[in-house]
Amino acid sequence: MSDFEQIVFTRDGAVASIELNRPDAANGLTACMAAELREAARRCDDDAGIKAVVLRARGRFFCAGGDIKEMQSHGDAIGRELKALADDLHGTIATLCRMEPVLIVAVNGVAAGGGFSFALVGDIVLAAESASFTMAYTRAGLCPDGSSTFFLPRLVGLRKAQELMLLNPKLPAAEALAIGLVTRVVADDALQAEADALAAELARGPRGSHAGIRKLLLASFDTSLETQMELEGRSLAACAASPDGREGINAFVEKRQPKFE
């Protein structure tokens, strides 16, 4: 059961679910939600039994970004308060990116601002046919956060990232798929089932292998060819020597389905 106010955190076997739960406020990010997301991410990172995490949302919206009304209420303290919120948001994203479980993001509706950023960090991103994506920061006189200036140019290229950040076009799901922003588009009424099915599939897989892939891909942004290959070799060796690696190799030779831990 969840013990949070603005998100719902659950675990079913090797799958954890983090659900944004402010449907009447477009799942806008508040200081409370950001802190709760950081704690939920920490739990996923600390629990060796979790192999897949699904980030989803309740209601019609995925996440409309920061809660503008809460920002306004801070008055002259807005700079300090927004930095604190960003710190929690960034701590959440850093943990989600560096944890061992695979992250699936299921975008059910509008993903704007920080909600857009959440879509960028998923290993597998599913978008409902009615979902849409927009940066929206400059409409409120703000700059992007939530890792979007890091991941977006790498996913869609610098020119497209500039357009999305400066002009705030609204991308329908089909266009988001075409530019490589999401993994696949599914029917609205099939989104949650598809996310759950993928999470279950990943939960049957080798946690160490998945973790190695996530770590290597993240490192590839900053390392040289030779350094990356050395990291690959070390990761490959560690996987092969692990119980899952031995099981996978034996199962392949024996022509049977592996049973990973």
Shared-domain flag, residues 124 and 138:
yes
Shared-domain flag, residues 225 and 162:
no
Position 3 confidence tier, pLDDT thresholds 50, 70, 90:
confident
Output the domain CATH number for residue 32: 3.90.226.10
pLDDT value of position 1: 46
In a domain, 258, yes or no: no
Shared-domain flag, residues 224 and 136:
no
Residue 24 has pLDDT above 90, yes or no: yes
Spatial neighbors of 44 by CB under 8 A, at least 6 apart, are 16, 18, 50, 53, 95, 96, 99, 101
In a domain, 219, yes or no: yes
In a domain, 261, yes or no: no
Spatial neighbors of 211 by CB under 8 A, at least 6 apart, are 100, 101
pLDDT value of position 2: 62
Shared-domain flag, residues 160 and 233:
no
In a domain, 148, yes or no: yes
Collapsed DSSP state (helix, strand, coil) of residue 171: strand
Q: What is the pLDDT of residues 114-158, one digit of tens each?
A: 999 999 999 999 999 999 999 999 988 999 999 999 999 999 999
pLDDT value of position 128: 98
Section 50-75 average pLDDT: 94
Shared-domain flag, residues 199 and 211:
no
Number of domains present in the structure of the chain: 2
211: domain range? 207-253
Section 152-170 average pLDDT: 96
Shared-domain flag, residues 80 and 100:
yes
On average, the pLDDT of the chain sits at 95
Pure H helices in 47-157? 68-73, 78-98, 114-120, 148-156
Residue 10 has pLDDT above 70, yes or no: yes
pLDDT value of position 254: 96
pLDDT value of position 67: 87
In a domain, 72, yes or no: yes
Q: What is the pLDDT of residues 217-229, one digit of tens each?
A: 999 999 999 999 9
Position 232 confidence tier, pLDDT thresholds 50, 70, 90:
very high
